[in-house]
Amino acid sequence: MHMLMVKEISVQELIEKANEFNNKDGYGDIRWHFIGKLQRNKVNNLLGAPNLECIQTVESIKLATAINSSCQKKLQPDAKLKVFAQVNSSGEEAKSGCEPSECSELVRHIITQCDCLHFEGLMTIGSFSHDYSAGPNPDFECLVRCRDQLESDLELKKEDIKLSMGMSNDYQQAILAGATTVRVGSTIFGQREVKK
């Protein structure tokens, strides 16, 4: 189980934070995961962040291809950047991610066409309004089904497909549903200020 101390963040914010901590003694081993909306024209900037380990919000084949192309230019030979395929498990228009039915196609592309990327697993934000008194979160169940479909379609091992789901308000339910990575930034850093 991995707990990430993250908040959704912009590319510029992550670069600033990564540089700030990279220049402080005793913080050189921090590994950064980017979670946020990533536009293809910002990929080169993001890859300049010190100790960037993973991008958890790869939502399309076009974005995966753009990240891979930038990695070919910026990473050391044989280095790979970890990525999660983001799935829009709730079907909300405001949420990013591929449709669950497109998940296998996206992951197949990452594995077979993106030699600088290492597929880590699947990620979802999920609906914020689920009432757990009504039962398990269907968005988490959807991501588990996507993982099972990958296991079948691409002959991957279930244990090799991490599931990043759950945040400060629902990480316990996410763990019960099968999460291997939860994101608990608000619990640690406090609520994020809403930009005006």
pLDDT attached to residue 92: 84
Domain contains 139: yes
The answer to whether the CB of 67 falls within 8 A of the CB of 52 is no
Domain count for the chain, please give it: 1
pLDDT attached to residue 65: 98
Q: Which residue range(s) make up the domain with 96?
A: 54-188
**Mean local confidence (pLDDT), 165-187:** 80
**Mean local confidence (pLDDT), 35-52:** 93
Domain contains 167: yes
Q: Which two tokens stand for residue 94?
A: 């405001």
Q: What percent of the chain has pLDDT over 90?
A: 55
pLDDT attached to residue 170: 79
17, HSE (Cβ side, Cα atoms, 13 Å): 16
* CA–CA dist 144, 167 (Å, integer): 16
Taking only the tens place, the pLDDT of each residue in 115-124 is 999 999 999 9
pLDDT at 7 over 80: no
Domain contains 2: no
Residue whose entry in the numeric block shows the structure tokens 């930038």: 70
Q: Could you give the maximum distance between any two Cα atoms of the chain, in Å?
A: 50
> How much is the pTM?
0.87
pLDDT attached to residue 72: 94
pLDDT attached to residue 191: 61
pLDDT at 161 over 80: yes
Taking only the tens place, the pLDDT of each residue in 19-28 is 888 888 888 7
Domain contains 107: yes
The answer to whether the CB of 80 falls within 8 A of the CB of 89 is no
Domain contains 195: no
pLDDT attached to residue 151: 96
Domain contains 30: no
pLDDT attached to residue 30: 86
CATH number assigned to the domain comprising residue 58 = 3.20.20.10
CB under 8 A, 24+ apart: contacts of 9-17: 9/34, 9/35, 9/36, 10/36, 11/36, 11/38, 11/42, 11/45, 11/46, 12/45, 14/46, 14/49, 14/52, 15/45, 15/46, 15/48, 15/49
Domain contains 36: no
